[in-house]
Structure 1
Amino acid sequence: MTVRAKACLPPVVDDDTRLLILGSLPGDASLAAERYYAHPQNQFWRLLGGVLGEPLAELDYAARLERLAARGVGLWDVVASAVRPGSLDGALRLVAANPLRDLVASLPELSAIAFNGGTAARIGRRELGAVAAALIDLPSSSPANTRPFAAKAEAWARLADFA
């Protein structure tokens, strides 16, 4: 059985992005829907909604992205493409990283970069090197991370200073 390479979604940023949240590579549900964090059990929208004080999980996707833009929050991934059967980061092979330094250089208001999970942090920190923005490691919002929601929310609350 041949597994094809999977490619990331385009970045969701603009000149007003102050906080950039980087995942690893979207899971199969997100890639199929062409939407960030589309798996119904992924806690991303609930976690970030808590940080922003907005009911992001209750909004449709376009409205979610509008709210992020209004709050200066951008999204992207550290992996441009990789071979991965399924959606787990542990299965990533033949990883090609995104040009993170180029993106960061294009965001004049950027003050913080958050990594959604350990794989995103490991690859992202390596690819970024030294940057002027604060770097924040977060527990993954993935349903594969079984850490209690309250513990994740407490860690994610640190983003409120930047959004």
Structure 2
Amino acid sequence: MQNRISSFPPIIDNDSEILILGSIPGVKSLEKQQYYAHPQNKFWTIIFELFHEKFTEDYTERINIVKKNHIAIWDVIDSCERKGSLDSEIKNEEANQIEELLEIYPNIKAIFCNGGKSYKNLQKILGKNYKIPVFLLPSTSPLHTISFERKLHDWRKILEFIDLA
């Protein structure tokens, strides 16, 4: 029997306009209790690049940056069994309450899935024709081996849904 792991609470507030969903935190993230904590994961690099922010390792400051830019972060999986960090090793998963979160935070205009596992699971939860747009973005994981430039280009889509005025 593998250990059961759990996701973190969402990072969200009433100003959030987009929701970025991963699958479930990897080993390094669970150890540090931080979203996207693996040093080779490009999530934070992409976020800072998109919003022309000075990169920092300080997690509190990272959270402040996503909130300032109206971004919410969560995972589609609440808990599961998994050895290692690979999505392909996920077993016996329980879904997070995505629909309830969207009802509580009605300012969310679009959902962006960080990788295929998140996207497939979200379609099971919400259905394919959900009332707000859902987009699949290339995973920021180091295991997804397309170039950083390509990832950054595709992730620019989120800027279309954020009102920074």
**Which category describes the TM-score, using the shorter chain as reference length?**
over 0.9
The AA in structure 2 aligned to 1:159 is I
Q: What is the match of residue 40 of structure 1?
A: 39
Uncovered stretches (5+) of structure 2, i.e. residues with no partner: none
Q: C-alpha distance in 2, partners of 1:91/1:150?
A: 28
Residues 20, 110 of structure 1: 8 Å contact kept:
yes
Q: C-alpha distance in 1, partners of 2:135/2:52?
A: 20
Identify the match of residue 79 of structure 2 among 67, 78, 81.
81
Residues 6, 83 of structure 1: 8 Å contact kept:
yes
The AA in structure 2 aligned to 1:161 is E
Uncovered stretches (5+) of structure 1, i.e. residues with no partner: none
Q: C-alpha distance in 1, partners of 2:57/2:5?
A: 27
Q: C-alpha distance in 2, partners of 1:93/1:36?
A: 21
SS at 2:105 equivalent: coil
The answer on 1:95 being equivalent to 2:93 is: yes
Q: What is the match of residue 6 of structure 1?
A: 5
Deviations, residues 6-47 of structure 1 (Å, cap 9, x unaligned): 100110001111011000000010011110000100000011
Identify the match of residue 56 of structure 2 among 58, 68, 71.
58
Q: C-alpha distance in 2, partners of 1:59/1:67?
A: 12
Q: C-alpha distance in 1, partners of 2:57/2:133?
A: 29
**Identity within the alignment, %:** 35
Residues 51, 159 of structure 1: 8 Å contact kept:
no
The AA in structure 1 aligned to 2:63 is L
Q: What is the 5 A alignment of 1:125-136?
A: 125-129=123-127, 130-136=129-135
Structural RMSD (CA): 1.1
Q: C-alpha distance in 1, partners of 2:69/2:126?
A: 24
The answer on 1:149 being equivalent to 2:148 is: yes
The AA in structure 2 aligned to 1:81 is S
Q: C-alpha distance in 2, partners of 1:106/1:100?
A: 10
1:115 shift after superposition: 0.1
Find runs of 4+ consecutive structure 1 residues off by over 4 angstroms: none
TM-score, reference length from structure 1: 0.94
Deviations, residues 60-118 of structure 1 (Å, cap 9, x unaligned): 11011111111110000000011110001011010111111000111121101100000
Q: What is the match of residue 68 of structure 1?
A: 66
